[in-house]
């Protein structure tokens, strides 16, 4: 695992925002585009690609993540959305590792490169939860937006900065 905990919310946010509902841009639209984005993000090794079913699973993972971030924004507890994200993250096959100095961490027991991608997202979710950032990760509730943003001040914001003025109150 690399980087401080502050990188975890950023990874979740940038992954969720690979789909821009406002402009209709999807950085993960094709298998090739998705693999390219994952390689740039450091989640997929050079030369590794995605199968069709892995690409489908990746899009479901992103959709379930966005749904849960929307629940955060709307201060709603949705068991079905939580269960969908749990299922999508199961591909990561996380295990707990214990170091000689009794340091503990999460790692992936999977050998397939796609499982390592999911594991990286799952570890980021766990790190965000541990640092208290998880509930501050939200998806804008403005119609047609859904942009993921980080409400670090836990202000109860429901909208991304661009929509917070228009939907104040």
Token pair 């841009």 in the structure block, residue: 25
* Plot region of 156 (φ>0 → left; ψ -120 to 50 → alpha; else → beta): left
What secondary structure does DSSP assign to 123-145, as a single string? HHHHHHHHHT-GGGEEE--STT-
Nearest approach, Cβ of 18 to Zn ion (angstroms)?
16
Structure tokens belonging to residue 76: 């709603």
- Binding map of Zn ion across residues 83-122, x = CB under 5 A, - = no contact: ----------------------------------------
**C-beta of 7 vs 22, nearer to Zn ion:** 22
What is the three-class DSSP state of 25? strand
What is the three-class DSSP state of 148? strand
Among 68, 140, 148, 157, binds Zn ion (CB under 5 A): 140
Nearest approach, Cβ of 160 to Zn ion (angstroms)?
3
Token pair 């999807």 in the structure block, residue: 26
**C-beta of 55 vs 70, nearer to Zn ion:** 70
Asked if 38 is part of the footprint of Zn ion (rule: CB under 5 A), the reply reads no
- Only one of the segments 41-49, 87-95, 115-123, 147-155 lies at the binding site for Zn ion (rule: CB under 5 A); that segment is 147-155
């Amino acid at each position: 695992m690399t980087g401080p905990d502050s990188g975890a919310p950023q990874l979740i946010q940038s992954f969720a925002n690979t789909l821009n509902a406002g402009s209709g841009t999807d950085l993960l639209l094709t298998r090739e585009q998705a693999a390219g984005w994952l390689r740039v993000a450091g989640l997929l090794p050079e030369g590794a690609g995605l199968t069709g079913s892995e690409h489908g699973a990746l899009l479901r993972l992103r959709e379930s993540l966005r749904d849960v971030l929307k629940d955060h924004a709307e201060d709603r507890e949705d068991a079905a959305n939580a269960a969908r994200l749990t299922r999508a993250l199961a591909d990561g096959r996380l295990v707990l590792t214990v170091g000689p100095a009794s340091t503990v961490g999460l790692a992936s027991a999977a050998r397939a490169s796609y499982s390592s991608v999911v594991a990286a997202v799952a570890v980021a979710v766990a790190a965000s939860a541990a640092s208290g950032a998880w509930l501050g990760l939200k998806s804008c509730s403005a119609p047609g937006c859904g942009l993921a943003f980080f409400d670090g001040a836990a202000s109860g914001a429901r909208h991304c900065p661009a929509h917070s003025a228009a939907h104040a109150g």
